[in-house]
Homo-oligomer: A and B are copies of this chain.
Amino acid sequence: LDNIVTEKKAEESHRQDSADLLVFILLLTLTILTIWLFKHRRFRFLHETGLAMIYGLLVGVVLRYAIHVPSDMNNVTLSCNVNASPATLLVNVSGKFYEYTLKGEISANDVDDIQDNEMLRKVTFDPEVFFNILLPPIIFHAGYSLKQRHFFRNLGSILAYAFVGTVVSCFIIGLFMYGCVMLMKQIGHMGGDFFFTDCLFFGAIVSATDPVTVLAIFNELQVDADLYALLFGESVLNDAVAVVLSSSIVAYQPEGDNTHTFEAMAMLKSFGIFLGVFSGSFALGVATGVVTALISFNFTKLRDFPLLETALFFLMSWSTFLLAEACGFTGVVAVLFCGMTQAHYTFNNLSPESQDRTKQLFELLNFLAENFIFSYMGLTLFTFHNHVFNPIFIVGAFLAVFLGRAANIYPLSFLLNLGRRNKISSNFQHMMMFAGLRGAMTFALSIRDTATYARQMMFSTTLLVVFFTVWICGGGTTQMLSCQKIRSCFLVCCRLKYSGLFNASCLMMDFLCVRLQIGPDGVERRSTKHESAWFFRIWYNFDHNYLKPILTHSGPPLNATLPACCGPLARCLTSPQAYENEEQLKDSDSDLILNDGDITLSYGDVTVSTDAAGAHTSGTPVGGVAVNSDEALDRELAFGDHELVIRGTRLVLPMDDSEPPLPLDSHRHRHKNETMS
């Protein structure tokens, strides 16, 4: 009979779990339907993530205040005194043994709560779910879609913002918050311990920016590609930096009695941990990416089976995460670099169908995970039971976040501009300042540990920072763009469109935009190949001459790029396809680029220098000797502008931030041809 009761209980609990998960699924469904409505109506002041948060908030309010589940006396918990907390506990109930697993520590004042909020505790996920299930696809997707020429062009600046900037921001915020904490202690507003390391930890977690909202709008409005690349690249990389930084701050453990004093050795150790974990995760991620590229390179016949190919790609990418976690590195960071490597090499070896499938798969996973996290954020504002809202701390945090972002962007931009020929203008700087939203990563880092008073206060404050930045900064992006007068063809078009001159005027505007964008810039850039940062050029040459030929089927054959003495090795490593491809030397990023023919077709009289590049492509030396990498780089830079042009043609389409460019463009061409003929 006892057995049956246990079974009944387990069944009941399973039902409850299903119902809870169902609430989230329905929340997501509702979000999707509303997003659709917004997209349909071209309402741009609330992004899907902001919307998910609002729905989450509403459900949270209902769960907290409207539903009262009578406390089930069967679930009453018992206390038994033992002298350790093992991972597994065996409990002897009148001769029968039951196995229990450790879930975590509970603060003494919550013990009474447990009975009361059984239901609320049910809808609270284990925080590790975010790190181990929801964040990896988001971060991988970011890395996988970072395959942009403009990213590599601005690599130096992006690395500066992401590494130096995040560390600067972390310390500025940490110091400022320490001042706040001191003040609070003075006036007796502090209900628990709050050490300097806690302040630094807070600095690290709120330094991770997540401009997903802003970028979605940038994508729609066709904002300057360099600004886009700077923001996206920075946000992706500073997530990685923030994760590792926060874990090395936690690892700061001075020896001796007082564990909260400064100690140089412990500090150095933390720094060592930062370097070790970051480079280890980086190496692991890249290594798995390269292994996948090699497998897909050598198992060429795998291309006949897109299902197997996609499954392999998915499993290898997942194993990066697990491998990194198993080795004690940071899975999320490894997954990011794995995604970038996959995009740069493996992607070129996949069959076209698998390229689509993998993109779509990770796009879907990213979409679901992201919206889930944001709706959970909204929910948790009401269902989390240990909130500590302290007005001084909150105001201080908002100020600190502002200051930290400013100390990241403005001084660094000034320093970078000393070295950049293509300066980061002040309105770009203001825009980057404004676009420093906090999102999924900040939330996941802050919910990971809410055991102490300090962490609980951080968590509550972080939630408010996320809400504020996503709703206010995210919603105000369009206004900010037009206020900063950042080149966005869309804005002009938009006005014309509403004035009833839709088709003709937008065509004209496209036309002008193309001329505006490609005219001066394009010509300028073509002659500025020496403008690019020197280490980008070194990297590019190495990548193009050695890595691409070894890891992908595109790129020149190796024996054209290796010195003569390495001939046999080169022949052995070069795939037969490389020789075939030699003439038509497709570039790895060519999927982003339309044929020149298309451009000439659509802009009949704006044949701005496309022929030059076209001639370039077909004019590649055919002999196996001189595939000049400088020439290729030049061509690559030229192609970059085409991309810009083509992006320019998408302006006035129904908003879609998820479509591949090609079908849309062809749709557009058709439309254009109809209008013109």
Interface residues of A (CB under 8 A from B): 2-4, 6, 9-10, 13-16, 18-19, 21-22, 25-26, 28-29, 32-33, 35-36, 39-40, 74-108, 110-111, 114, 128, 253, 295, 299, 301-302, 304-308, 310-312, 314-316, 318-319, 321-323, 325-326, 328, 331, 357, 360-361, 363-364, 367-368, 654, 656, 658-659
Contacts and interface: CB of A to CB of B under 8 A. Distances in A.
A368 B322 CA distance: 17
Contacts of A318: 25
29 contacts: A3-B105, A6-B105, A9-B87, A15-B325, A18-B321, A18-B322, A18-B325, A28-B311, A28-B315, A33-B295, A77-B88, A78-B86, A79-B91, A79-B92, A81-B92, A82-B93, A83-B94, A85-B96, A90-B106, A96-B105, A98-B103, A98-B105, A100-B102, A101-B101, A305-B658, A306-B658, A307-B363, A310-B360, A360-B361
Identical copies of this chain, number: 2
A622 B384 CA distance: 62
Contacts of A314: 364, 368
A305 to B, nearest CB: 6
A308 B13 CA distance: 32
A33 B311 CA distance: 10
Nearest to A368: B311
Given A29-B319, A80-B89, A100-B102, 16 more contacts: A6-B85, A16-B326, A18-B323, A18-B331, A29-B316, A78-B82, A79-B92, A80-B80, A80-B81, A88-B103, A90-B114, A97-B108, A100-B101, A310-B364, A314-B368, A361-B361
A22 B323 contact: yes
Contacts of A323: 18, 22
A278 B346 CA distance: 47
Contact of A36 (B82, B299, B357): B299
A132 to B, nearest CB: 8
Contact of A86 (B21, B76, B110): B76
Q: Identify the interface centre among A13, A103, A360: most chain B CB within 10 Å of its CB.
A: A360
Contacts of A253: 4
A75 B89 CA distance: 9
A372 to B, nearest CB: 10
Given A18-B326, A658-B306, A98 B108 contact: no
Nearest to A663: B353
B93 A111 contact: no
Contacts of A110: 97
Nearest to A81: B92
Contacts of A35: 308
Given A82-B93, A316-B29, A360-B360, A36 B103 contact: no
Nearest to A11: B328
Contact of A111 (B18, B90, B312): B90
A322 B25 contact: yes
Contacts of A25: 315, 318-319, 322
A664 to B, nearest CB: 10
Contact of A322 (B19, B90, B105): B19
B326 A15 contact: yes
Contacts of A74: 86
Q: Nearest 6 pairs between A and B by C-beta?
A: A100-B100, A18-B325, A19-B326, A80-B80, A22-B322, A18-B326
Contacts of A304: 39, 654, 656
Contacts of A22: 319, 322-323, 326
B40 A312 contact: no
A16 B101 CA distance: 15
Contacts of A104: 98-99
Contacts of A107: 97
A14 B108 contact: no
A331 B659 CA distance: 34
A307 B367 contact: yes
Contacts of A18: 321-323, 325-326, 331
B322 A21 contact: yes
Given A22-B323, A101-B101, A91 B85 contact: yes
A87 to B, nearest CB: 6
B101 A91 contact: no
A102 B11 CA distance: 13
Contacts of A128: 14
A88 B101 contact: no
Nearest to A316: B29
A322 B95 CA distance: 36
Given A87-B9, A96-B105, A100-B100, A14 B305 contact: no
A326 to B, nearest CB: 4
Nearest to A48: B308
B100 A106 contact: no
Contacts of A108: 95-97
Nearest to A78: B82
A36 B85 contact: no
Q: Identify the interface centre among A77, A114, A306, A357: most chain B CB within 10 Å of its CB.
A: A77
B106 A301 contact: no
A315 to B, nearest CB: 5
Nearest to A107: B97
A357 B102 CA distance: 40
Contacts of A96: 85, 105, 108
A111 B39 CA distance: 59
Contacts of A84: 78, 93
A198 to B, nearest CB: 14
A315 B78 CA distance: 38
A81 B80 CA distance: 8
A33 B305 CA distance: 11
A213 to B, nearest CB: 17
A316 B293 CA distance: 35
Given A89-B89, A364-B307, A364-B311, A105 B97 contact: yes
Contacts of A306: 658-659
Given A307-B363, A325-B14, A83 B93 contact: yes
